Amino acid sequence: MKNPGKSSTLALLVVMLILSAFGCQSKKKAMEASYLAGEKARMEQEAAAQKERDAESARKEAEAEAQRKAEAARANEPADAAINTRVNNYFEATAQASTVAAANATIADALTLFASPETPVLIVISEEGGQKDYDRPTTIRDYLNYIKDQKKNSNRISNVKMDSAGKITEVEVRKPL
């Protein structure tokens, strides 16, 4: 005969082993779920931080681009008084040169201000309602030689465009009215 206490103890022990095995599995699954949730939260935080860094970088780049554009605009700023005065002084010196050699030397010196001897010179002959009427365009070299030949400079600079290197790329002069 079997001992009833022993078999019930054995059955109880088997039931406890089965329950603990299932309990460990659900505890493991719970821990995995908790770990995955924590990992997901960490990844979301990293993505949000990266997004913030990208936005800050884009903002700084936009500021730098705006600054570069402002500097370029200042470089191309029309009617800069200092450069206008300097170019006008070359025009006057060319017109008032005592000899052809002196005029040619002044022209050679003046051409160093320009991006090229072929820099266009636009001569405004009239303006009405914001619309300008130009004489036939010429180059700075031809214009300076014209001033040298005429021995007078009656036109005044109204606009100068410059490149990023500080060289003049276009001159607009106005005939006196």
108-117 CB contacts, 8 Å cutoff, 24+ apart = 110/140, 110/144, 111/140, 111/141, 111/144, 113/83, 113/86, 113/87, 113/167, 113/168, 114/140, 114/167, 114/168, 114/169, 115/163, 115/165, 115/167, 115/168, 115/169, 117/141
Q: Which of 11-15, 68-72, 73-77, 151-155 has the lowest mean pLDDT?
A: 73-77
Q: Are residues 65 and 100 in the same domain?
A: no
Q: What percent of the chain lies above the pLDDT cut of 70?
A: 79
Does residue 79 surpass a pLDDT of 60?
no
Q: Is the pLDDT of residue 58 over 70?
A: yes
Q: Where does a domain end: 48, 75, 102?
A: 75
pLDDT of 78 higher than 80? no
How would residue 143 be classed by pLDDT, with cut points 50, 70 and 90?
Answer: very high
- pLDDT higher than 60, residue 149: yes
pLDDT class of 36 with cuts at 50, 70, 90: confident
Q: How is 43-71 classified by DSSP, letter by letter?
A: HHHHHHHHHHHHHHHHHHHHHHHHHHHHH
Query: Same structural domain for residues 40 and 92?
Result: no
Clarify whether residues 58 and 94 are in a common domain: no
The answer to whether 164 and 74 have CB atoms below 8 angstroms apart is no
3-class secondary structure, 104? helix
Q: Tell me: do 95 and 166 sit in the same domain.
A: yes
Tokens of 5: 């206490």
Domains: count for the chain: 2
Is the model more confident about 13 or about 163? 163
Is 107 within 8 Å of 145 (Cβ atoms)?
Answer: yes
The parent domain of residue 2 ranges over 1-75
State the DSSP string of 111-124. Answer: HTTBS-TT-EEEEE
The answer to whether residues 153 and 94 touch, using CB atoms and an 8 Å cutoff, is: yes
Residues 62 and 103 in one domain: no
Pair 65, 108 in one domain: no
Do residues 39 and 61 share a domain? yes
Examine the domain organization and report whether 15 and 42 are in the same domain: yes
Indicate whether 99 and 166 sit together in one domain: yes
What pTM was computed for the model?
A: 0.54
Tokens coding 16? 């406890």
Report which listed range, 51-60, 81-90, 100-109, is most confident: 100-109
Structural domain ending residue among the three candidates 9, 44, 75? 75
Mean pLDDT over the full length of the chain: 82
